[in-house]
Copies of this chain bind each other. A is one copy, B any other.
Amino acid sequence: MANLFVRFLIGGLAVLAAIGYKNYRELSEPGQRPELDNNAYWGPELSKQNYKENKAILPYDISVNPEVIADLKSQLSRPLKLQAPLEGVGFEYGFNANELQKVVKYWRDTYLNKWGEREKYLKKLDHYQTEIQGLKIHFVHAKPSKEAIKKGKKVLPLLLMHGWPGTVREFYDFIPLLTAGSDKSDYVFEVIAPSLPGYGWSQGSSKTGFGVAQVAVVLRNLMVRLGFDKFVVQGGDWGSLIGSNVASLFPENVLGYHSNMCGNNSPMGRLKLMLSFAFPSWFGDEQNAHFYKGFGDFFVFIMEEMGYAHIQASKPDTIGNALIDNPIGLASYIAEKFSTWTNPAFKTLPDGGLTKRFTYDQLLDNIMIYYVTNSITTSMRLYSESMNKAQFALSVDSLPITAKTGCTRFAHELLHVPDGVLANKFPNLVHSTHQQDGGHFPAFELPQQLYEDFTAFVQKAEL
């Protein structure tokens, strides 16, 4: 009874909120493509006057100056002054200081001693750079294997995008699967995996207003620069949102969109999401009901897990100042997400289950990319530039994606959105799956599983 009352209450609240926002007619109308300058300049003002986009696509050397490594080692060798965790606590209060001590020790005494090997590993894939709209954009370019081509597989260009706090490092096991091809698939992929602008080796904007839609323009332009007028998009986290913006804004370029974190942020989508918390059966399939949580769990999730997004969206420079050139703080801040977002149950473990799905080497590779490029502040600005009135006013979220779409849901993803909620954003949702394992970083954690889902989508969609 009480439960029913709460359902009606939440339903009522959602309806009221929706009415207050826009009327139903407006809500259900697809939006119009906003005016966006496809050639907007985002580099420093000083360089603007004589700026002529250098369209060359040049190999990029990701080598790190040995002085940076030596300095990092000396920073990691300072006596640690961490505050001991509260008694009996794992990761419930954030990154456990005892575990951090172990990470620092491994980083300093093991990882950095084999940095040459790690660097070699990171160079295994081919790195390039080109200039787009005033920004130097870095990307990994991996071509399909000759064997796959010989077997007559169809080659599709793929724009593959990471999110925060990720890097292209997440894709080092995933990309080889995509380029090798498999017996189960008629397709093989030519992969472009950019560092998002402001992330890793890609330059960040010097100007305000560089949000998710503007980033989408840059990365679409990158694909066109490389000669790919038609391509597939895959991503999670920001990669999913940027991909959704690319597919919304440039339907002429996108063959298909696949994401491991599909969402619908249109006004109608938000309303339906709220309603789905109260009436899950209206929107989802009964079989996978356990994937979809109620409003109470959603509220707890916002409270317990969204603090980072709140501060990054409002004060990215303050938290950036705290993390830049601060390897220990950076490792704690980033690696926390690879614990809790991989499986929330890891929060109760003293070591956050960090090595249950990743190795320290994997995690440190990713952290190193943020550290050596000093990119943490620019990476976090994407939150503030994407969550503000100017960005919302573009209403890209209200543009339906006409390209064929595939959505997969790994078990421990932060938030699952049922098909019924996705519907108005993705009228061409041809593939929708639920994985019984895995978390927020499936390309990194379960590359084979993500590969199989992705290729199943491509096959089904007949791209």
Contact = CB atoms under 8 A, between A and B. Distances in A.
Contact of A93 (B100, B328, B384): B384
A321 B316 contact: no
A378 interface: yes
Interface stretch (A177-185, A253-261, A301-309, A455-463): A301-309
Interface string A326-338: 1011101100100
A329 B323 contact: yes
Given A100-B321, A307-B314, A208 B87 contact: yes
Contacts of A384: 93
Interface residues of A, number: 67
A317 B16 contact: no
A67 to B, nearest CB: 11
A58 interface: no
A97 to B, nearest CB: 6
Nearest to A374: B81
Contact of A326 (B88, B100, B322, B336): B322
A322 B318 contact: no
Question: Which 4 pairs, one residue from A and one from B, show the smallest C-beta to C-beta distance?
Answer: A94-B318, A322-B329, A307-B311, A94-B315
Contact of A13 (B17, B84, B315, B323): B17
A86 B207 contact: yes
A320 interface: yes
Contact of A332 (B12, B16, B20, B322): B322
A322 B328 CA distance: 7
A424 interface: no
Nearest to A71: B78
Given A86-B207, A322-B323, A326-B329, A307 B315 contact: yes
A306 B314 CA distance: 9
Given A310-B306, A378-B83, A208 B318 contact: no
23 contacts: A80-B325, A82-B321, A83-B374, A83-B377, A85-B317, A86-B206, A87-B208, A94-B319, A96-B317, A97-B321, A97-B377, A303-B314, A306-B314, A307-B310, A307-B314, A308-B315, A310-B310, A318-B336, A319-B322, A319-B333, A321-B332, A322-B332, A323-B329
Contacts of A248: none
Contacts of A312: 307
A16 B9 contact: yes
A19 interface: yes
A155 interface: no
A53 B105 CA distance: 37
Nearest to A306: B310
A95 B324 contact: no
Interface string A68-106: 000000000010111111111100011111001000000
A412 interface: no
Contacts of A97: 317, 321, 377
A321 B82 CA distance: 6
A97 B206 CA distance: 13
Contacts of A381: 86, 93
A205 interface: yes
A44 interface: yes
A313 interface: yes
Contacts of A308: 311, 315
Interface string A151-193: 0000000000000000000000000000000000000000000
A36 interface: no
A45 interface: yes
